[in-house]
């Protein structure tokens, strides 16, 4: 199997590594970088648990090879909390609205909502748009109500 040198900015920090061609971005983040917040669920791009932002756009890390991230910026759920452990506003709102139970889908959902905040740049967002965006993230526990409420509060705040 061939290996390639890659240079990736992960959560604002540059990383240079040698990876095999067949290693998916999710495996690279979890196994090589120790960033286990990116969860692997279906490994077919359907469940959304492995959603990360690559150059600001949501990507299913189970479908992207690590070598495809060469020269790109990757943001994972670990980038949300402050170094002292203080939760990001979005994480606090998920807690406030009881938007998680088992937490397996939560990292992918958080990154999806974060992308929405950047895409809408302060423009009002309605419930239909939030539900549409979250339709790519499967959750078996919450029923989505708390997630939608938390997302709406986050997206419609300044």
Give this prediction's pTM.
0.95
CA distance 139 to 109: 9
Q: How many whole angstroms separate alpha carbon 3 and alpha carbon 147?
A: 40
Domain 3-79 has CATH 3.30.70.1150: no
Q: Which of 56, 68, 60, 53 is nearest to 21 (CA)?
A: 68
Domain ranges of the chain: 3-79, 89-155
Rounded percentage of the chain residues whose pLDDT exceeds 90: 92
Q: Using DSSP, state whether 105 is helix, strand or coil.
A: coil
CATH node for 89-155: 1.10.150.120
Q: Are 85 and 58 in contact (CB under 8 A)?
A: no
Q: Mean pLDDT across the chain, nearest whole number? A: 96
Q: If we measure between CA atoms, which residue out of 96, 136, 99, 102 comes closest to residue 116? A: 136
For residue 3, pLDDT over 80 is answered with yes
Checking if the pLDDT of 1 tops 90, the result is no
107-125 pLDDT per residue, tens: 999 999 999 999 998 899 9
Report the distance separating Cα 30 and Cα 136, nearest Å. 22
The answer to whether residues 49 and 108 touch, using CB atoms and an 8 Å cutoff, is: yes
CB atoms within 10 A of CB 131: 13
State the alpha helices, DSSP H only, in 6-88: 25-27
User: What pLDDT, on the 0 to 100 scale, is given for residue 65?
Assistant: 98
User: pLDDT per residue over 6-26, tens digit each?
Assistant: 999 999 999 999 999 999 999
Model pLDDT, residue 142: 84
Q: How far is C-alpha 5 from the chain's CA centre? A: 24
Mean pLDDT to the nearest integer, 83-98: 96
């Amino acid at each position: 199997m061939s290996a390639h040198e890659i240079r990736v900015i992960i959560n604002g920090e540059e990383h240079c590594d040698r990876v095999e061609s067949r290693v998916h971005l999710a495996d690279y983040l979890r196994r090589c970088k120790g960033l286990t917040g990116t969860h692997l669920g279906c490994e077919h791009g359907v469940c959304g648990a492995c959603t990360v932002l690559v150059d600001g756009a949501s990507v299913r890390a189970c479908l992207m090879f690590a070598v495809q991230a060469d020269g790109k910026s990757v943001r994972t759920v670990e980038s949300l909390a402050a170094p002292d452990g203080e939760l990001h506003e979005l994480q606090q709102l998920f807690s406030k609205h009881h938007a998680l139970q088992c937490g397996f889908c939560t990292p992918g959902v958080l990154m999806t909502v974060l992308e929405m905040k950047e895409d809408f740049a302060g423009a009002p967002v309605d419930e239909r748009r939030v539900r549409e965006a979250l339709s790519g993230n499967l959750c078996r526990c919450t029923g989505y109500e708390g997630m939608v409420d938390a997302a709406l509060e986050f997206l419609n705040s300044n």
